[in-house]
Amino acid sequence: MQLSVIKETREFEKRVALVPDTASKLQNAGIDIVLQSGAGEQSGFSDQSYIQKGVKIADSFESALNGADLIAKVLPFTENELNSVPKSTTQISLLAPGSYLEIIKLMQGKSMTAFSFELLPRISRAQSMDALSSQATVSGYVATLTCAINLPLFFPMFMTAAGTVPPAKVFVMGAGVAGLQAIATARRLGANVRAYDVRPAAAEEVKSLGATFVTLDLESQEGAGGYAKEQSAEFIQKQQELMAEQVAQCNVIITTAAIPGRPAPKLLTQKMVEGMAKGSVVFDLAAESGGNCELSKPGEIIEHDGVKIIGARNVPSQLPTHASFLYSRNVAELVLLMTKDGNFEPNFEDEIVNGSCVLKNGEIFNEMTKKLIEDSK
C-alpha cells in the first residue's frame, strides 16, 4: 500500500498531513509513504527529516500521486489540483463538506472516494482520530495568546510598589475543546476567567479549570454527539439580552460557538461591543463560518468604538509544527484502521469508516452532504 502526502497550497495553510515521526508508525504496518517535496517545510519539517525516516520524496505533485492507494491532506484539493489527480483515487482530509461542495462535485466526476475528519462519529474509539478536537486545542491556545498580545493590559494581577494591577477579565463563549483550551491558557496567564455554554453539562469542565461558569435563565441546547444544537431566533435574542451584562464587565471576549454544517450562532451584537471598555479585545474563532460576532471579518482585525475585533482564519496554521504533529497522529490512526496486512481495505461496516465517508467511488455516501448538494441546485 502506498500513502501519498501532498503539499498544501490553499491560502493561509502551513500544516502538513504527516510528520516524520508518525511516518515510522505507518511504515511498521507495511505502508510505503511518498511525500511531495517541500510539503513539510512550512511546518518546520525538511525533506531530509523525512528521508531519514525512510520516506520517499517525489519532486512534483503528479509524481507524488503516481501509484497512490490513499492520499493524505489537511484541506481539500483545489480545483486546479483536481485536474491532475488520477481518477478513482481515495483521500482523507478535513473536507468540510458544507464549505467545499463544488470541490466534492468535481471529485464525483473523477469517481473518487473521500473521508472527512469532520464526520467522524463522537465515540470513544474514535478519539485518537478526532482531528477537530486536536486542531481546536491549538485554536483555543492561539486565541488566548493573541488576545493577551493585543490587550493594552496585563493578564495577571501584579502587586508593585506603584500599586496593585488587577487581573484582566476574560469571558469565553462556548466551552467545547477550543473554549476549554482558551480557558486553561487564560487561567495560566493569571486572568480572571468566566465562561458560558448552552450545554449545562459543560459547567463541571469549566469549573475544573478554575473558571466561573455563567448560568443564564435559558433552556438547555444540548445536541447530538456532545455538540450544541442549532438555536431558534427567539432563543438567540433572549441569550444576547442576558449576555450583555457579562460582556460589558470583561476586557477580553473569546467566542468559539460552532454547529457542524450550520452557520455560527450570533452571540455578540454591535450594541454589546459598544458597551465594552475602550481597548478591549474580541477574538472570534467562528469568523470563517459566519462569525459569533456580527462585526467580525475572517482574517481581519478591525476596530469598532475602541474595541479590537479579531476575525479568525485557519488559526491552527499559526502554530503549524504542533498542529501538524497532532493532525498527523489523527491521520495515522484512521489510516491504520482502514489497513489490513499492509493493504488498504476500509471496512464500511465499521461505524468510523462508514460515518466519515463522504464519497465512495464517485457516489455521495454521506446523507448530510447529499442533502446539501441537492439544496444547492
Give the catalytic positions in this structure.
122, 127, 130, 133, 227
Q: 307-311 and 301-304 as β-strands: parallel, antiparallel, unpaired?
A: antiparallel
330 within 8 A of 131, measured Cβ to Cβ: yes
360 within 8 A of 366, measured Cβ to Cβ: no
DSSP strands (E only) in the chain: 2-5, 32-36, 56-58, 70-72, 90-93, 113-116, 158-160, 163-165, 169-173, 192-196, 212-213, 252-255, 281-284, 301-304, 307-311, 339-340, 343-344, 357-360, 363-364
Neighbouring-strand partners of residue 253? 171, 282
Neighbouring-strand partners of residue 284? 255, 311
Question: Dihedral of CA 322/43/330/33: which sign?
Answer: negative
Q: Which of 256, 218, 215 is nearest to 238 (CA)?
A: 218
Q: Which of 271, 305, 298, 262 is nearest to 283 (CA)?
A: 298
CA separation for the pair 128, 145 (Å, rounded): 26
326 within 8 A of 117, measured Cβ to Cβ: no
**Which letter, b or e, does each residue of 58-75 get, where b requires 16 or more Cβ atoms within 10 Å of its Cβ?**
beebeebbeebbbbbbbb
244 within 8 A of 272, measured Cβ to Cβ: yes
CA distances from 12 to 8, 17, 321 (A): 10, 15, 14
21 within 8 A of 53, measured Cβ to Cβ: yes
Residue 246 in grid coordinates: 457579562
Residue 200 sits at the vertex; the CA angle it makes with 198 and 204, to the nearest 5 degrees, is: 125
